[in-house]
Structure 1
Amino acid sequence: MTKTVQCFALVLCLCLLSVSSASAEYTQQECDKFYFSAQYDEAYQCISSMASEGDPQSQFNLAVLYHLGQGVEKDTSKTIYWLTRAAENGHPNAQFGVGAAYEAGFGVEKDLAVAVKWYTMAANQGHAAAQTNLGVMYGNGEGVERNSIEALKWFRLAASGGSSKARRNAEVLSQHMTDEEILEADTLAATWEPIMTEHIDMLPKPSVHK
């Protein structure tokens, strides 16, 4: 079985076109204009202002700027800090990114159990890549007790969201499961409903490693 493996820069893809509330000083449209015209210093000022006011999308985008060194020096600790703030505020891409960081030990101490928790939060919001990775972790017993039924459920959901990796994983895994187990997994997938989160304060603050 394979995970949705992406380099961290791609995990933290900028999503600047998302609608976001205006700050006192800037609007999302202004931030977009600065970034897409390669005015990175101005984009950093704009995005950091909105991020400081608690806007999850801006917090996610600010993590990207720190990771790529656009408008500011690269800083792994600040990348993780702002990525985590966005994740705690319910941003599914950020939750997936934090999960990937803990799985890989990128900027934080590697912790597969914590990775599973963040992947689960993103997966519960319908994030296909997180669902794929969560399925692999359940299938292999990484950071969580091995559970083929739960693994297949997440693969089915990710496949329905367009993940070709999840579709292949489901085919491979189902070959080693009974008909009853497959039926149970399919039933769980069919009755699953997304869980949207707005704010999370349940995990310890990350121990950041540069």
Structure 2
Amino acid sequence: MKARPRIRDTVKRLDAALAMVRQDRWQVSGLRAGRLVILAEGSGTAAQLEPAQRRVQELTPLARRALYERRAVTISTIHTTPAGGVEDWELDWPTILYAPVNDPGFRPVGLLIIGVRTPFWYEGEDLNYITAIAGSLTAFVTAATDPLRPLSRPERMVAYLLGEGLSSPEIARALRIDRAEAQQAVGNVLRKLKVRSAGQVSELLEDRRAGGPQLTIASGD
């Protein structure tokens, strides 16, 4: 499946924006079921979207800290990593920065990860700039990790009704369509979501609700 032009434009603009700060590699990932789904990444002069079969990776302790504290977190060591031959840049490179992707006051929906091959210490101005870039990616990451993204608007309505436990005849009555059309719509939803039952659709919807942005209200204490 080819990426939509506007998504490619977003990645292209992101790569240009990150060229303004010291970095040798960047990665944008969305949160899904407690893990990171890699959506796009850049290295040197090349930026790319991940293919349809996206890679999934576990959260590192520093990534968890950035998500928990909802702020950019960076670590730098004094060793230098030579070009080439690095199996895991996120763990092996001397400088890594994690910036949560979220709107102010909302739970993060993903991470912007930046790496440098040599020791580098990001200062306040750079951190503020990267934090702003990460925040601007919220809509992109939210849309890209939406499990209902393959569905059209009418099919989403069918998915919601399936998730509530309605049968095909009940969906037909709710949407005022005939049973054959409802059965076809249900089949299309299951096929596009790559699931076999209404129960699995319900699980996807629950995961979608759990993974979506949630407003945090500070206590008055």
User: Same-fold call, TM > 0.5?
Assistant: no
Task: Report which of the two structures shows the higher radius of gyration computed on alpha carbons.
Answer: 2
With the length of structure 2 as denominator, give the TM-score of the two structures. Answer: 0.27
Higher strand proportion: 2
With the length of structure 1 as denominator, give the TM-score of the two structures. Answer: 0.28
